[in-house]
Amino acid sequence: MNWLFWLQGSAPYLGGGFGHFYAYAPEKFEYPINRFTMETKRQLDVLDKQLANNKYIAGEDYTIADMAIWPWYGNLVLGKLYNAAEFLDVESYTHVQRWAKLVSERAAVKRGKIVNCTWGEEWQQLAERHSAADIDEVLKKQTM
């Protein structure tokens, strides 16, 4: 539970703070970008230290903490959020990198990323899912 509460207190700084000012704000202001960059890097450091001694966030087992944290921080260090991987030097968080890759290879995560996906190449999208076969079809196309 601790890590779920950690996420609820941390993710707004990543998405609403860093993501907004770095990627979406109509004007780029140095102070908020620097402030939220510093906080995002601090959070990545917290995760990196936790993952230095654990396979997953809460220990050796995959838990709801991983499921909740990965879409934010896993996608960030894999270079899939805000085009900010180089700016944040995400490669330096080696334990978060290992964990993010490990989680991204889980079959359920691969399937979950497809549900209601409305971006990317047309063959990757699945705006509406009516059966598990819909997801299977997209997964087949990804391996071609």
Q: pTM of the full predicted structure?
A: 0.84
CA dist 126 and 115 (Å) reads 6
Residue 30 sits in the same domain as residue 93? yes
Q: Which of 3, 13, 9 is nearest to 51 (CA)?
A: 3
Domain of 80: which CATH number? 1.20.1050.10
Residue 113 sits in the same domain as residue 64? no
* pLDDT single digits (tens) 46-71: 999 999 999 999 999 999 999 999 99
What's the pLDDT at 144?
63
* pLDDT single digits (tens) 134-144: 667 777 777 76
Is 107 or 121 the better-scoring residue by pLDDT?
Answer: 107
Angle at 26 between CA 21 and CA 29, to 5 degrees: 50
Q: Which of 106, 13, 102, 109 is nearest to 54 (CA)?
A: 102
For 46, the domain range is: 2-105
CA dist 69 and 60 (Å) reads 16
What's the pLDDT at 114?
76
